[in-house]
A and B are shown apart, each in its own frame.
Chain A
């Protein structure tokens, strides 16, 4: 058995056991499917409606990716700005915290009225849910650069920009990826929140319409797909980190 498979074995067993207990409980206690459907029924119903479900999945995936991309494009420069001076940090941080304390569900209908019933408000809500940990992580990384490293840069006559690009930013990479992983998972949450409020497609929309007709198994299927999407995105970020910045992700090469 390959070590990577052996490493994944305990979690695989746990997941399979969970579904088995679930299935057994539903059958054994005779729980009605619209209250708690059993896994086999969820799979069958989801598979039965597959082309439709796939379209909803792709719609959500599009919103997630746009929101995630917006988070990256806005968070990184914003973090550099915040890390560059205590004054800017003091000015911007409270605003960011305010955006985080507003419930995004409350914001979504307002945005839809303002921006129209299209993709844009959903992307904005996704962005608002996802971007904060990325900013916080990146700022932490930029400021965590050891002072000796900064001093080395200064001793080598590096300017502020060089210091940022050649020392602080590379040093922040593990922190940035920490933020990216959280943001990837949160982007899925953000997209569904937005779809709950106003959408004509997407897994969030599918959950709402399914539940309106007590098609609980289909709603559960959508939930499973959302979880899978979150896991895939998280893993994609992890793999990107390992491939692009091998030094960032722990000791993967043995010490000679």
Chain B
């Protein structure tokens, strides 16, 4: 579905990504972890077509990515909602912007949006303004907005990074539930190792300056996932391995 072919990206003299190759299958859930400045977000923006590669290429569904595409959707760390639009209009905004929802189709889109908001626990909030919602609810709206585009690729840049720990756990499981019903590849950038292991089929561990793939870990936990699995040996092994890669073994001996 997604193929990065020896991709490098520089901003001026700063090399953000160096020689990154990665393949994500259709419907696969891939998490990307790494220290700050390892180019995780840049990688996501390359796949989104928001920034061009310096070398190498990004191929999505058989065609090279040169600009943002209609079949990819992105969720940012901040909910990035339009402050002047109510929840329903925020969710339908991308489709209205791409002129896929107008005239007769608008009613149809709004019906789908309402159904999606209901599954995200936001029924009854359709006509609230973003500032009237909590942080978690705002981020749910942002995720609904991305899902309404029915993307084949969902790119998430630390989507739960600004949320409190409890909301974060709740949202992770919700995301898995939504993802399981769809044929949608997810690339999920996060700082949280447990979050990456809990969610992903594979975890891409990146090393900083310049950003490279250090290792790709197969998680291999059965689905559906739950927090009970955090105690399992397979979970611990994966998390330990990722930690060792990121900290270079320092933390393992710190205690």
Query: Would you give the 0/1 interface string for B67-82, flagging 1 where the beta carbon is closer than 8 Å to chain A?
Result: 1111011101010101
Q: A149-B82, A247-B83, A247-B84 are in contact. Are A256 and B128 (CB under 8 A)?
A: yes
Q: Which of A151, A152, A157, A167 contacts B70 (CB 8 A)?
A: A157
B97, CB-defined interface residue at 8 Å: yes
B132, CB-defined interface residue at 8 Å: yes
- Considering the complex, give the chain B residue whose CB is closest to the CB of A245: B84
A118, CB-defined interface residue at 8 Å: no
17 A-B pairs with C-beta separation under 8 A? A146-B78, A152-B74, A152-B76, A152-B80, A155-B73, A155-B74, A155-B94, A156-B68, A156-B97, A157-B68, A157-B69, A157-B70, A247-B83, A248-B84, A253-B132, A255-B131, A256-B132
Chain A residue contacts of B69, Cβ below 8 A: 157
Chain A residue contacts of B68, Cβ below 8 A: 154-157
Q: How far is the CA of A170 from the CA of B81 in the complex (A)?
A: 12
Could you tell me which A residues sit within 8 Å of B by CB distance? Answer: 146, 148-149, 151-158, 162, 166-167, 170-171, 173, 245, 247-248, 251, 253, 255-256
Contact yes or no, A151 B82, CB < 8 A: no
Number of interface residues of B (CB under 8 A): 23
Shortest CB distance B167–A (Å): 17
Query: Would you give the 0/1 interface string for B122-150, flagging 1 where the beta carbon is closer than 8 Å to chain A?
Result: 00000011011000000000000000000
- Considering the complex, give the chain A residue whose CB is closest to the CB of B45: A151
Shortest CB distance A7–B (Å): 22
Shortest CB distance B45–A (Å): 8
B188, CB-defined interface residue at 8 Å: no
- Considering the complex, give the chain A residue whose CB is closest to the CB of B83: A247
Q: A167-B82, A247-B84, A248-B84 are in contact. Are A157 and B67 (CB under 8 A)?
A: yes
Q: How far is the CA of A158 from the CA of B82 in the complex (A)?
A: 15
B22, CB-defined interface residue at 8 Å: no
Q: A253-B132, A256-B132 are in contact. Are A154 and B82 (CB under 8 A)?
A: no
Shortest CB distance B194–A (Å): 26
- Considering the complex, give the chain B residue whose CB is closest to the CB of A251: B131
Contact yes or no, A247 B129, CB < 8 A: yes
- Considering the complex, give the chain B residue whose CB is closest to the CB of A163: B97
Chain A residue contacts of B97, Cβ below 8 A: 153, 156-158, 162, 166
Chain A residue contacts of B50, Cβ below 8 A: 151, 154-155
- Considering the complex, give the chain B residue whose CB is closest to the CB of A173: B84
Shortest CB distance B129–A (Å): 5
Q: How far is the CA of A156 from the CA of B68 in the complex (A)?
A: 7
Instruction: Using A151-B50, A155-B73, A245-B84 as known contacts, list a sample of 15 further A-B pairs with CB atoms less than 8 Å apart, ordered by residue number in A.
Output: A146-B80, A148-B78, A149-B82, A151-B74, A151-B76, A154-B68, A155-B74, A156-B93, A157-B97, A158-B97, A171-B84, A247-B129, A247-B131, A248-B84, A256-B132
Of the listed residues A148, A158, A245, the one surrounded by the most CB atoms of chain B closer than 10 A to its CB is A148
Of the listed residues A153, A156, A157, A253, the one surrounded by the most CB atoms of chain B closer than 10 A to its CB is A156
Shortest CB distance B146–A (Å): 9
Query: Would you give the 0/1 interface string for B19-32, flagging 1 where the beta carbon is closer than 8 Å to chain A?
Result: 00000000000000
Q: How far is the CA of A151 from the CA of B48 in the complex (A)?
A: 10
Chain B residue contacts of A158, Cβ below 8 A: 97
Chain B residue contacts of A170, Cβ below 8 A: 82, 84
Chain B residue contacts of A173, Cβ below 8 A: 84
Shortest CB distance B179–A (Å): 19
Shortest CB distance A241–B (Å): 12
Q: How far is the CA of A149 from the CA of B85 in the complex (A)?
A: 13
Of the listed residues A146, A151, A166, the one surrounded by the most CB atoms of chain B closer than 10 A to its CB is A151
Q: How far is the CA of A157 from the CA of B74 in the complex (A)?
A: 12
B98, CB-defined interface residue at 8 Å: yes
Query: Would you give the 0/1 interface string for B97-116, flagging 1 where the beta carbon is closer than 8 Å to chain A?
Result: 11000000000000000000
Q: How far is the CA of A156 from the CA of B99 in the complex (A)?
A: 10
The 8 A-B residue pairs with the shortest CB-CB distance, nearest first, are A156-B94, A148-B80, A156-B97, A247-B84, A155-B74, A155-B68, A170-B84, A148-B76
Q: How far is the CA of A221 from the CA of B24 in the complex (A)?
A: 78
Chain A residue contacts of B74, Cβ below 8 A: 151-152, 155
Contact yes or no, A255 B132, CB < 8 A: yes
